[in-house]
Structure 1
């Protein structure tokens, strides 16, 4: 039984969203999977049939998802190896909209909804996978599961033409007009030789009128010919994909892209009238699409996960900033925007770690088994780093035997140095205080990290409280998250021992006065480089960040670092103060948007704002965000008896 479970897990982890799962979660899913064999001609589920308590992953074979229309039964999607389908059971618990026709004998994995729902709730990356599809019109995500659900309403409010949001600022996309073709009688070997000579990855099989009958790709040659031992002398019609999905060359980019997405196509055949009953006049590949699209989260993340070139990673992150600007200007939900930008930043970090580990593998073979976790802190730890502002990160690794201590320290320092070098090359700013994973102080085994936090909690000096404001927002990004969870548990145990620590934190949260002066004007910098400018970060955002952190710690809430999500959680926990907390959360979202737009406009970190440059409405909006600060400061002053601590 374990052998079968392991094989299922090995297969699933090759494909998203299963590739995003922790090992334990993946194994739990694999244990619950039902393996089903269905024969050619069968129907797995039918249109309008009640959804089953499973969704499906295609292991082997081909399944068409079809829809009945006035023209008959039309193919809406072609499922191939690793494709997830029948997701309405997972996402909506509503009848199936399509039929599933088994085109080739198929092996499927049926995944119970009950198992996967728990994963969706706790794994942001899996939720974002579905949310990104939802934003592109592919997947309908149930409200209580999707991080991006609120974004859907914003998408619709911001533009009547849904495609404008996904495809804004697109460049011209490339269409191959000289399409390689052959007749259905052509041998497989001859077709392969034609593809090799033309240096292309596909060939269209056409009749005497050049009407498309099918398509053969490099992948088909591997999976349908070589892997199955079919003679290359057989006609190409035996192994081609048929029927083909077609569109007109004149169709707009969004129509072409969504057709490829919905049908899982790597190549789309273009004909004169868009049907299979007219001559082929073009071909577009998914590679061409990826090169053409600049601002789709799914495309950017896909591109990042498929490159190890640092210069290319930098270009993709630059494109993400263009996407960010569009989202901000069109009032897309900050929940969705911050989730997308966090995911992009996290993928960059993960790729940087893979590059660094690969370079160090031969030099440190004994380190392969040592568990570690890369932590993001500060704004990135709170999932709020929209711009490439300064880095705050660290490395935590398992305690090792004394004989490996020096080697481990050397390895993780070199690993951290290489990761930071890559992140800087991708356009991120270094931390002025050097709180980064290339600083030996912040590359430590778990026991040392526990000592750090114990010291800060038990002896809350001004310096310790300053560190607490950064380090308490740590978030595991890559590696073994269990180490981060162990550290979190230790922190709460220590706080329980010394409840007064929260009061000391409260004094820090009161150090910044409300941002408006006696005459209701903005308190601006009096001198220096930023004279007469308003410090958005220090005077407005940090007080809200500090207050949210303090209150969440007092409730021992684990796993919520984001400031506006912390306020949302506090509103649930304290209904009597819910209006204040929700107002504070909304204020923080507005400040995040303002800072990011200012940074993009000025080409800096957006921290300092000239109040004179704001219009009347903008000034009033900014002032409105300040009102929760003084109310929250009054609340914690009473709750944590801060008058006593400030004497």
Structure 2
């Protein structure tokens, strides 16, 4: 296979829906891809422009999707690596409803619709994946469908897709059963007066037996009457949209919404038998859809994307916590829950960046143009921060000429501090260890960060190992993401040069004692503020996170930070231990759920738990999660020869 085609295929298979394709089909798709390099400020496509023959997946960079409303640009979404956009072209050649603007220099893969149409017809998993994304109201289909729904759950258990159930409950769909109607003989003036009187944006033109002929909306009045100068005495039937598309009112929410998206409808008429040959019995609008989705990720993220008001951002994050409670209580998969909350947190960080940049708009333009990247560390870096616990972050910027060193550092320290302040205002706690982008030590140019990482690996002191466990889980969230990728590659290259570092990391992973005491009861704190409480973070979660990080690093795996996803990957890499790694992944998910529920219940971080407050089943479930810790520590002890390693 051609080297370039191979590289494209390797990238595509990392992301759904391409990961659902067979090797042969993936190679065919990869072979048809057109690679496009786009510079900052370019427009890939414009709102209203006829759809191209391709849709896109972002390889690297940042592209924003905007909508022009009353001559103002409103951000609808921001594309990141692996995100698929321009997908309405998949549904038929029609104008784009949004504009795609290049926020940072970007590389995109343009995939021909003609090639992918065959895939949609032949692969039901791919079709369902896209349907789930459309049904959640997304304009970008991303690898976790994290702004809306988790389609992958449908493939694991097609009979019980929790994420789709959130949006498919018929009792939640609000639509009007009192449909405003008029006859074909009514004039445009009369139809408009009826709409104005009832304060509605549409009127259905019906026969005398209430069978629908067409529909007139506010948009029709603007585009077909006012702009064209048509007489108001003209029959309403002359400007109605016809033939009319109809559905049964008991049609599933996802089907109704997908129909509206496919046909670019703002209103969908409902009839008794779903055809235009039976009486009208209801109408659903895109506003009804928005209300039906309520506290959904798509709605919350849309709200965050379009506000820079700190109070509003905090309020939306509060709403996200209520959504989190609902997800946990209804036992949605932690993969889905963590993806949703990570997406919410990431958007807050990106908006914080915009606020910080705006506050420094009067700074030297040379400084403002220096590429930089905001890094999330710790649980947020691992995509595991469900509650608003301590923030851990840092900032890296491109190396500058020596003459600019001091000015650049001062500028990015101001930027990092402003971002940290926004996160504090949104309810994220300050880091007790001051590992934040407001600390001068953790705001550095690329060369300095590389020297930090190299030093920790070459001289693995106790402090260096502690730093590596925090910083090696970093995730590039905002800014120039390529800088983050450069740092990741540097870590793996340095470890390859000095693999003995992994033995020190292994020794550290065994520092935490087993969570159960001699009498098989929880090991609790012996003194202090949390005396007699169980520390679920340090006793159970950190040991698993440390073990997963160590083993993934030993395999040279790049780009997998999340703990339970690391264990899933290890299960693929080491089939002999597949059952154990799967058990460890599940254990970590249970621990995350337990901590989050504890935190929501007590309005705390959820870290410390009173064992006596747990029911018998809860206690046993929690104890079961400790089993893989002991087994994994034993494997690590042997694999890294820790019995012969200096203490």
Shift of 1:163: 6.5
Give the match for residue 96 of structure 2: 81
Label 1:327 to 1:219 Cα distance change in 2 as closer, same or farther (>3 A). farther
For structure 2, which runs of at least 5 residues remain unmatched after alignment? 1-33, 64-83, 99-109
User: Which string of whole-angstrom CA distances, capped at 9 and with x for unpartnered residues, describes residues 87-121 of structure 1?
Assistant: 897498353899xxxxxxxxxxxxxxxxxx9xx9x
Give the match for residue 214 of structure 2: 213
- Is 1:492 paired with 2:492? yes
* SS of equivalent residue, structure 2 residue 331: coil
Label 1:239 to 1:13 Cα distance change in 2 as closer, same or farther (>3 A). closer
Tell me, yes or no, if the aligned pair for 1:420 and 1:436 is still in contact at 8 Å.
yes
Give the match for residue 7 of structure 2: none
Give the match for residue 339 of structure 1: 339
- Is 1:322 paired with 2:340? no
Shift of 1:379: 0.7
Aligned pair partner of 2:154 in 143, 152, 155: 152
Q: How does 1:98-177 map to 2 (within 5 A)?
A: 130=130, 133=133, 148-152=150-154, 164-166=165-167
Q: TM-score, normalised by structure 2?
A: 0.73
Once residues 276 and 261 of structure 1 are traced to their aligned partners in structure 2, the CA distance between those partners, rounded to angstroms, is: 20
Shift of 1:541: 0.5
Tell me, yes or no, if the aligned pair for 1:535 and 1:607 is still in contact at 8 Å.
yes
Q: How does 1:399-418 map to 2 (within 5 A)?
A: 399-418=399-418
Give the match for residue 527 of structure 1: 527
Once residues 128 and 352 of structure 1 are traced to their aligned partners in structure 2, the CA distance between those partners, rounded to angstroms, is: 35
Tell me, yes or no, if the aligned pair for 2:205 and 2:240 is still in contact at 8 Å.
no
Give the match for residue 21 of structure 1: 58
Tell me, yes or no, if the aligned pair for 1:376 and 1:474 is still in contact at 8 Å.
yes
Label 1:128 to 1:257 Cα distance change in 2 as closer, same or farther (>3 A). closer
Tell me, yes or no, if the aligned pair for 1:128 and 1:339 is still in contact at 8 Å.
no
Give the match for residue 397 of structure 1: 397
* SS of equivalent residue, structure 1 residue 9: strand
Tell me, yes or no, if the aligned pair for 2:134 and 2:258 is still in contact at 8 Å.
no
- Is 1:617 paired with 2:632? no
Label 1:129 to 1:477 Cα distance change in 2 as closer, same or farther (>3 A). farther
Label 1:363 to 1:349 Cα distance change in 2 as closer, same or farther (>3 A). same
Label 1:294 to 1:216 Cα distance change in 2 as closer, same or farther (>3 A). closer
Once residues 142 and 361 of structure 1 are traced to their aligned partners in structure 2, the CA distance between those partners, rounded to angstroms, is: 32
Q: TM-score, normalised by structure 1?
A: 0.73
Tell me, yes or no, if the aligned pair for 1:182 and 1:203 is still in contact at 8 Å.
no
Shift of 1:181: 8.2
User: How many pairs align?
Assistant: 572
Once residues 135 and 57 of structure 1 are traced to their aligned partners in structure 2, the CA distance between those partners, rounded to angstroms, is: 13
Once residues 529 and 169 of structure 1 are traced to their aligned partners in structure 2, the CA distance between those partners, rounded to angstroms, is: 48
Once residues 601 and 20 of structure 1 are traced to their aligned partners in structure 2, the CA distance between those partners, rounded to angstroms, is: 41
Once residues 180 and 515 of structure 1 are traced to their aligned partners in structure 2, the CA distance between those partners, rounded to angstroms, is: 68
Label 1:435 to 1:203 Cα distance change in 2 as closer, same or farther (>3 A). same
Instruction: Give the CA RMSD over aligned residues.
Output: 5.0
Once residues 48 and 476 of structure 2 are traced to their aligned partners in structure 1, the CA distance between those partners, rounded to angstroms, is: 20
Tell me, yes or no, if the aligned pair for 2:182 and 2:206 is still in contact at 8 Å.
no
Once residues 408 and 121 of structure 2 are traced to their aligned partners in structure 1, the CA distance between those partners, rounded to angstroms, is: 55
* SS of equivalent residue, structure 2 residue 525: coil
Shift of 1:385: 1.1
Shift of 1:617: 2.2
- Is 1:559 paired with 2:559? yes
Shift of 1:398: 0.5
Once residues 135 and 183 of structure 1 are traced to their aligned partners in structure 2, the CA distance between those partners, rounded to angstroms, is: 34
* SS of equivalent residue, structure 1 residue 214: strand
User: Which string of whole-angstrom CA distances, capped at 9 and with x for unpartnered residues, describes residues 272-318 of structure 1?
Assistant: 99876789898654345434533433333333323333333323322
- Is 1:93 paired with 2:124? no
Tell me, yes or no, if the aligned pair for 1:377 and 1:473 is still in contact at 8 Å.
yes
Once residues 425 and 142 of structure 1 are traced to their aligned partners in structure 2, the CA distance between those partners, rounded to angstroms, is: 28
* SS of equivalent residue, structure 1 residue 363: coil
Once residues 497 and 5 of structure 1 are traced to their aligned partners in structure 2, the CA distance between those partners, rounded to angstroms, is: 36
- Is 1:457 paired with 2:494? no
For structure 1, which runs of at least 5 residues remain unmatched after alignment? 27-53, 65-78, 99-116, 121-126
Label 1:196 to 1:274 Cα distance change in 2 as closer, same or farther (>3 A). closer
* SS of equivalent residue, structure 1 residue 374: strand
Once residues 117 and 560 of structure 2 are traced to their aligned partners in structure 1, the CA distance between those partners, rounded to angstroms, is: 24
Q: How does 1:443-454 map to 2 (within 5 A)?
A: 443-454=443-454
Once residues 618 and 247 of structure 2 are traced to their aligned partners in structure 1, the CA distance between those partners, rounded to angstroms, is: 46
Once residues 168 and 596 of structure 1 are traced to their aligned partners in structure 2, the CA distance between those partners, rounded to angstroms, is: 26
Shift of 1:370: 1.7
Once residues 606 and 128 of structure 1 are traced to their aligned partners in structure 2, the CA distance between those partners, rounded to angstroms, is: 36
Tell me, yes or no, if the aligned pair for 2:374 and 2:479 is still in contact at 8 Å.
yes
Shift of 1:629: 1.1
Once residues 167 and 312 of structure 1 are traced to their aligned partners in structure 2, the CA distance between those partners, rounded to angstroms, is: 28
Shift of 1:475: 0.9
Give the stretch that moved more between structures: 536-545 or 566-575: 566-575
Shift of 1:545: 0.5
Give the match for residue 598 of structure 2: 598
Shift of 1:537: 0.5
Tell me, yes or no, if the aligned pair for 2:544 and 2:588 is still in contact at 8 Å.
yes
Shift of 1:601: 2.0
Q: How does 1:184-583 map to 2 (within 5 A)?
A: 202-204=201-203, 206=205, 213-218=214-219, 221=222, 241-245=241-245, 260-261=260-261, 263-268=263-268, 285-583=285-583
Tell me, yes or no, if the aligned pair for 2:314 and 2:427 is still in contact at 8 Å.
yes
* SS of equivalent residue, structure 2 residue 121: coil
User: Which string of whole-angstrom CA distances, capped at 9 and with x for unpartnered residues, describes residues 571-606 of structure 1?
Assistant: 222222222222212211111111112222222221
Once residues 474 and 548 of structure 1 are traced to their aligned partners in structure 2, the CA distance between those partners, rounded to angstroms, is: 15
Give the match for residue 639 of structure 2: 639
Once residues 326 and 232 of structure 1 are traced to their aligned partners in structure 2, the CA distance between those partners, rounded to angstroms, is: 52
Label 1:56 to 1:251 Cα distance change in 2 as closer, same or farther (>3 A). closer
Give the stretch that moved more between structures: 172-181 or 557-566: 172-181
Shift of 1:474: 0.5
* SS of equivalent residue, structure 1 residue 93: helix
Tell me, yes or no, if the aligned pair for 2:56 and 2:86 is still in contact at 8 Å.
no
